[in-house]
Structure 1
Amino acid sequence: MRAGSADVGAGARGVTRAEYCVVACAEVWRGAGEVLVSPMGVIPSVGARLARLTFAPEVLLTDGEALLVGPGGAVEGWLPYRQHLALVTGGRRHVMMGASQIDRFGNQNISCIGDWARPARQLLGVRGAPVNTLNNPTSYWVPKHSRRVFVEKVDMVCGVGYDRAGDAPHHRLVRVVTDLCVLDFGAPDRSMRLVSVHPGVSVEEVREATGFAPAVPDEVPYTREPTVEELRLIREVVDPGGARVREVGR
């Protein structure tokens, strides 16, 4: 079925767009095994904890400093910085970063807008994006899908895409989750491909909000609904304060 514009699947439970995004982020770590999960942003963090509580119990969560923690924050182990770096550079971490710009091959920019020598806007800076993308699996979360983010060519390459990675042994771009859809890099040339649209979103809306033409299969499904238990965990255990709603403005 080609996805349309009707809000299919929400049903009596009133599943929100933010909750579809949480489930889509959680799915990034399905089958990942014992890897360190590094989610950046509220919805990726909620998704990571949901995955740990349900179908991905092996993943490791960190407090961002020196400890491994459970979904509720209980300390489970010590992760000194040297060990963290070993995981980062050896392919045993899966990070979900943000992107101020991203192109069809997954080149990501979080440094500046405009000419890097005289940028119109200074952003976070390159930070760890090159090491992340070349040394461990990487996904992206974009809370507002638009042509300003999904561009034909990024102004500066921070995260490395498939057309630049060469034979880096651990380079793997897995998914891009946005407030409209889920994409991967499954096109024949390793460029971006539409995987699903969230209920309430049409394929045409995704095309209009993207500054290049992603590969679009003949049949585009809707992003899966959370199960009854997943919805309970999201609303009552992982994010009872509803921070997820504030990150997705649509």
Structure 2
Amino acid sequence: MSESTSTALSGVTRAEYCVIACAEAWRDNGEVLASPMGLIPSVGARLARHTFSPDLLLTDGEAMLVGPDGTPEGWLPYRQHLALVTGGRRHVMMGASQIDRFGNQNISCVGDWERPTRQLLGVRGAPVNTLNNPVSYWVPKHSKRVFVERVDMIGGVGYDSAAAAGPTATRFHRIPRVVSNLGVFDFATPDHSMRLASVHPGVTVEEVFAATGFELAVADEVPYTREPSSAELASIREVIDPRGLRDREVRG
């Protein structure tokens, strides 16, 4: 795969490629509640709503439904929010302190659970999220400390763990994609192990391999993450994130 010159020609930043990759997670989702956690996923969800997924429901994280620019559009009482969650009508994009080849995610602790070397957030809603509705992940700094052979504690349920638990766990379990500052990953393999789906322009496959703590599935030719359209760039830069906060989370 040759080095892409698209970034230099179009001025698209690495953060904007990450926004596009996150937005694509909600393509063709229909009328579901998008629950992005983090700045880049939030910009991505709003971009999807503003462009190719107009039926998405966006929340301010509290009790309001909002438009792509953050303008309130309606009320989302907590009981209705829970109905969307348990009915599978939500697509979450969470963070991951650790994630392994089968999509098990950890945001709880590093090291042995009884005596961890680092205490993190706790499992939060990760188990319920992953067993009730689609969950994607966003990792702003791709490294072997995050992409690990096996997570220290399972919060978000991966494909192997769901299969081991049986039909009640696999019925609604789905991990559409993982997006990092280096590329896009999915689980479109026979054993549902992680696959490198695309690299962001300016990144090589070898860089991704070197920053990953397990062997990734990969095709003979790995494409670049798609280019944003001029309309999408205008939406990102002028409507959704005019202050350019995205570039604080992901630098080129």
Q: Secondary structure, in 3 states, of the residue corresponding to 1:134?
A: helix
Moved more, 165-174 or 122-131: 165-174
Following superposition, the deviation at residue 174 of structure 1 comes to 0.5
> Which of 98, 103, 110 is 1:101 aligned to?
98
Structure-2 residue corresponding to 1:210: 212
Alignment correspondent of 2:185: 183
Task: Give the CA deviation at 1:78.
Answer: 1.5
Partner of 1:115: 112
Matched, 1:80 2:112: no
Shift of 1:65: 1.0
Q: CA RMSD in A?
A: 1.0
Task: Note the alpha carbon deviations across 1:170-200, whole angstroms, 9 max, x for none.
Answer: 1100100000000000111001001000001
Q: Does 1:17 align with 2:14?
A: yes
* Equivalent pair of 1:103/1:152 in contact (CA under 8 Å): yes
Which ranges in structure 1 are unaligned for 5 or more consecutive residues?
none
Residue 6 of structure 2 aligns to a residue in which SS?
Answer: coil
Distance of 2:71 and 2:60 partners within structure 1: 10
Distance in 2 separating the partners of 1:121 and 1:192: 26
Instruction: Return the TM-score normalized by structure 1.
Output: 0.96
For 1:199-231, what per-residue CA distance to the aligned partner results, in whole angstroms no more than 9, with x for missing partners? 011111111100000100111100001001111
Partner of 2:228: 226
Structure 2: unaligned runs, 5 residues or longer: none
CA contact (8 A) 1:90 1:170 kept: no
Across the two proteins, how many residue pairs are aligned to each other?
247
The Cα offsets for residues 126-154 of structure 1, whole Å up to 9 and x where unpaired, read as 10000000000000000000000000010
Partners of 1:73 and 1:194 lie apart in 2 by: 33
Amino acid at match of 1:69: V
Following TM superposition, by how much is the alpha carbon of 1:13 offset from its aligned partner in structure 2, in angstroms?
2.5
Q: TM-score, normalised by structure 2?
A: 0.96
Identity of aligned residues (%): 74
CA distance in structure 2 between the partners assigned to 1:94 and 1:34 by the alignment? 10
Q: Does 1:249 align with 2:246?
A: no
How many angstroms apart in 2 are the aligned matches of 1:75 and 1:241?
20
Question: 2: CA distance between counterparts of 1:12 and 1:237?
Answer: 23
| 1:11 CA drift (Å) | 4.6
Separation (CA, whole Å) in 2 of partners of 1:237 and 1:32:
22
Instruction: Supply the distance in 2 between the matched residues of 1:209 and 1:61 (Cα, whole angstroms).
Output: 33
Equivalent of residue 68 in structure 2, options 65, 68, 71 = 71
